[in-house]
Amino acid sequence: MAEYKPIRKVVSGNYAAAYAAKHARVQVVAAYPITPQTSIIEKIAEFIANGEADIQYVPVESEHSAMAACIGASAAGARAFTATSAQGLALMHEMLHWASGARLPVVMVDVNRAMAPPWSVWDDQTDSLAQRDTGWMQFYAENNQEVYDGVLMAFKIAETVNLPAMVVESAFILSHTYDVVEMIPQELVDEFLPPRKPLYDLADFSQPFSVGALGGPNDYYEFRYKIAKAMEDAVKVIKDVGKEFGERFGRDYSEMIEKGYVDDADFVFMGMGSLMGTVKEAVDLLRKEGYKVGYAKVRWFRPFPKEELREIAESVKGIAVLDRNYSFGQEGILFNESKGVLYNTDARPIIKNYIVGLGGRDFTVGDVRAIAENMKKVIEAGKLDREVEWYHLKR
């Protein structure tokens, strides 16, 4: 194995995604432009135009067709990639089911953007979380480095378990913000991510076969179970690939929940994506001020890191779940999932939901401090003041 010397580049989150796709040697990219995803595909098109990447680029007429074309490409044995945001992801929804049902390891970057109306192009996780039940794995990146690393790992994991994977980054906060990203030399990426070996290949004519035919009540059920099993198996694959990534390139992703100060914390902040960068900064400060707080950054939302969450719950008095998303008629989606995971355990810390930053509303270190104050009172009182709090609401 060649020695790893990272190539440092100052890039936007979107360019990090584009470089990762190139380094993953994707063979087919089908995409439709939508803000703030566009610069991912523009950069890939630039690679092709400059002869830096050998990719079949299909500039489709809609996101629905983008996913359909990726599905066709993947079924025909190619490594397929696309990217989208919000309304575009919603338009793809039907085909997201098709990708997982046909067991195709398509990888997609979703640039988290709020759903309209009102029109918004800013950060919000509701678009990707609304795809929760499509059979896609979901990785939430905190920063541009994690976008790059996430895409490379997503391909390896997806192609191992034969399920599609989504790498999620925040609109503008990451997509258009420049930061140093340590990239991996191509030959080392190639060692980490060898060419794809498809589960089936439409270009193999040795024996005729069909994919996706009618499955009656006698068969359909088992097909679903196999997807459920693959998603379950993905937990180990994710941890193994994350560990391997750490051993090869120094950035360890073996934990599906990245933890900080958890062991002696009274309570932790839990959340996903770029807002956890703010939380980590705030927690460092709060610790210096004597607050016994920690953080738990959920990297993988699907499969859901149940065991790791239960372990955290055993050692803390409270969990403040920060949701940059909302499921109408219920509560924040990460909160909802987390409560469900903890119900059948003895560990029952107080768990409170803070809805923050919807539609790109700023979420600052000061906000984390205010939430910490509130959470502290809740824990001292030993009961919730309210279960869900819309933190920024103008009253």
Partner 1 sequence: MEIPENVRKRLSIPAEEHFFAGHTACQGCGASLGIRYVLKAYGRKTIFVIPACCSTIIAGPWPYTALDANLFHTAFETTGAVISGIEAALKARGIKVKGDDGVMVVGWAGDGGTADIGLQALSGFLERGHDAVYIMYDNEAYMNTGIQRSSSTPYGAWTTNTPGGKRHFLEKRHKKKVIDIVIAHEVPYAATASVAFPEDFIRKLKKARKVEGPAFIQLFAPCPTGWRSPTDKSIELARLAVQTAYFPLFEYENGKYKINMPSPKKEPKPIEEYLKLQGRFKYMTKEDIEYLQSWVLREWEKLKKLAEVFG
What residues line the site for partner 1 (CB under 8 A)? 27-28, 30, 54-56, 58-62, 64-66, 68-78, 80, 94-95, 98, 102, 202-205, 208-216, 219
- Nearest residue to 323 via CA among 341, 309, 338, 344: 338
> Closest separation between CB of residue 68 and partner 1, Å?
4
* Residue 199 Cα distances to 75, 163, 165, angstroms: 9, 11, 16
Closest distance of CB 190 from partner 1, Å: 17
Residue number, 27 or 37, with CB nearest to partner 1: 27
Nearer to partner 1, 82 or 112 (CB): 82
Contact 2, 188 (CB under 8 A): yes
Asked if residues 129 and 358 have their Cβ atoms less than 8 Å apart, the reply is no
- Which of residues 61 and 289 has its CB atom nearest to partner 1 in the complex? 61
Q: Which of 221, 213, 234, 114 is nearest to 164 (CA)?
A: 234
69 vs 313, beta carbon nearer partner 1: 69
* Whether 123 contacts 36, CB under 8 Å: no
Of 90 and 296, the one with the shorter C-beta distance to partner 1 is 90
Shortest Cβ 219–partner 1 spacing (Å): 6
User: Closest approach of Cβ 98 to partner 1, in Å?
Assistant: 6
Reduced to 3 states, what is the DSSP secondary structure of residue 361?
A: coil
Q: Please state the closest distance from residue 278 (CB atom) to partner 1, in A.
A: 39
CA 78 remoteness from chain centre? 22
User: Apex CA 153: angle with CA 148 and CA 157, to 5°?
Assistant: 155
Phi-psi region of 5 (alpha: psi -120 to 50; beta: other; left: phi over 0): beta
Q: Which is nearer to partner 1, 72 or 277 (CB)?
A: 72
Minimum distance from residue 200 beta carbon to partner 1 (Å): 9
